[in-house]
Structure 1
């Protein structure tokens, strides 16, 4: 597991480095703010790829309140403000149904979604037959999921990641880990168990909203949530954060150097092999016109460069990014390959 994760993480980093420097994720999130572009450009005459004479449906494969939901709402607002488009955001409680809705829609650019590697995980592990590589058109690789908080109930008997690990080792199978039956968090917990030698009890908590509610009520003992939500819930004494997890080599000060000690990454807390990076992909149905896709990708660069959108994406705990089509494809393939191999190590890969 350790060797596989490091190798494929490096492949993603190398792919990202080929993107135009101003749009690269390899820099500091807090120092990567693009030049401001807050003018309403809805009167632009150049083609932007997105349909301009009908409502664009942005599908959220999850309940309201999660990181993908918040991000896609910021993108929706920007598309309207910058280009004068009419957009609507539609949530699906089941991410599989959300993905399927997009995949089976007409390939005219009017139905798109923002998906993460959960799409890959579900296909590779057999919980979904929706093929992320064949059933969708990739429009752009966008923000890195950034720094996810590892949250526990407010009354948990530990305050940092080492305390959690020690408790888990002393109490195998007794800590309930909130996660989807098959998704990105599933593999993240699998990585924790494999690398740390701990045994957690998986409890269904498919969406971030589910995990926040379950952590607040003490129904689960640990869950991954976005930093934005974690901070709000921690202020209300509904949970506490014991660490954050991000891509290899990231430190929390890259995101926000005012956060307290308990927000330091797992690597900063001495667990070098515990890291995880996740991209968000703007996807449409398979079969979209290539010229349309190229124009949509370019339009999303302008959305990325918009100062208001950049700050909004950053404030939900993500690292704002945009990648051209060529690099987006490399990044997506590298992430798919990484998940494919980790799932194989875990014995849950049904696509070999």
Structure 2
């Protein structure tokens, strides 16, 4: 009997040694550098934000974070790299709305399952989009713009950084909620779109505040409204669009995600550290200077936000009849 008991204890010890425990995962992770995939080329807004956040996150985790730029197909190439990576917490994605919130409805043969293959860890930033018009356009407010567009159906053009981009979808949401007929003109990036709005070839655009901040200050364009529910401190006199169109909000959310089957203790630890780092006043001020609000949240909160945004943007995409693209 005693020998049988020893055998059972020995077997149990062997099994427990092989199985990963939450306690071990909590205390040993991370024990090697973490790769943070940015699904866009170096030099853009996402790349800047990822690099700016990576250093304090590295300090908090006491481990190096390597930025890996993997551009292509609106960010889906980088997302696919993370979705197919080992679910061990050492490959993470700097996620923008285009990889999980809108990709399932815009890309026909998405190489990963946006609902299962990526696990939301924590929010990083909530950006501010701003509705601008060329300085010579007659509208001085959001309501005046809506009134003008209703009197001139199909004659007002809005520029975006590309089909399916956050600026495109924000414009389509505005169009839908205002009940107006304005024409979408897609560009290959925000800089080209902004150039034509400034030059008067396009009347309006809704894009990130960082794109238009200097042009608003110089008077090259006029800001009529922001996409957040509260004014942005950089342009405090510009009211939220929601004051005219009740419920309007189009604030791009960036967050960290991991491969879908990443163990819960790793997800939890990353989220807790991100929340702590995001609460630093100096870092918050740095992001605020570019129009973004830094804010971490729990995996459950971020996952719920992803699902609600997927539903919301699907309705906008379907209503606008935006065509489905291919990654091939």
TM range (shorter): 0.7 to 0.9
Q: Secondary structure at the match of 1:132?
A: coil
C-alpha contact 1:245 1:266 (8 A) present in aligned 2: yes
- Offset at residue 149 of structure 1 (A): 0.8
Deviation string for 1:114-152 (max 9, x for gaps)? 32333322312445524321221221133333x311123
- Which residue number corresponds to residue 76 of structure 1? 54
Cα–Cα, structure 1 residues 218 and 109, in superposed 2: closer, same or farther, change >3 Å? farther
Cα–Cα, structure 1 residues 319 and 293, in superposed 2: closer, same or farther, change >3 Å? same
Q: Distance in 2 between matches of 1:175 and 1:331?
A: 33
Judge which range, 177-186 or 91-100, deviates more. Answer: 91-100
Unaligned residue ranges in structure 1 (runs of 5+)? 1-45
The answer to whether structure 1 residue 92 and structure 2 residue 71 are counterparts is yes
Task: Give the TM-score normalised by the residue count of structure 2.
Answer: 0.76
Deviation string for 1:233-252 (max 9, x for gaps)? 22234433121112xxx231
Q: Give the greater-gyration-radius structure (CA).
A: 2
Cα–Cα, structure 1 residues 200 and 166, in superposed 2: closer, same or farther, change >3 Å? same
The answer to whether structure 1 residue 267 and structure 2 residue 267 are counterparts is no
Cα–Cα, structure 1 residues 260 and 339, in superposed 2: closer, same or farther, change >3 Å? closer
- Which residue number corresponds to residue 167 of structure 1? 148
Q: Distance in 2 between matches of 1:121 and 1:109?
A: 24
Q: Distance in 1 between matches of 2:167 and 2:200?
A: 19
Give the one of 94, 112, 135 matched to 1:154.
Answer: 135
Q: Secondary structure at the match of 2:167?
A: helix
- Which residue number corresponds to residue 306 of structure 1? 280
Judge which range, 111-120 or 84-93, deviates more. Answer: 84-93
Equivalent pairs, count: 294
- Which residue number corresponds to residue 182 of structure 1? 164
Q: Secondary structure at the match of 1:177?
A: strand
Unaligned residue ranges in structure 2 (runs of 5+)? 1-25
- Which residue number corresponds to residue 298 of structure 2? 324
- Which residue number corresponds to residue 11 of structure 2? none
Give the one of 52, 75, 82 matched to 1:102.
Answer: 82
- Offset at residue 299 of structure 1 (A): 1.4
- Which residue number corresponds to residue 225 of structure 1? 207
Higher RCO (C-alpha under 8 Å, 6+ residues apart): 1
Aligned residue runs from structure 1 range 231-246, under 5 A: 231-246=213-228
Q: Secondary structure at the match of 1:276?
A: coil
Cα–Cα, structure 1 residues 232 and 272, in superposed 2: closer, same or farther, change >3 Å? same
Give the one of 134, 144, 151 matched to 2:116.
Answer: 134
Task: Give the TM-score normalised by the residue count of structure 1.
Answer: 0.71
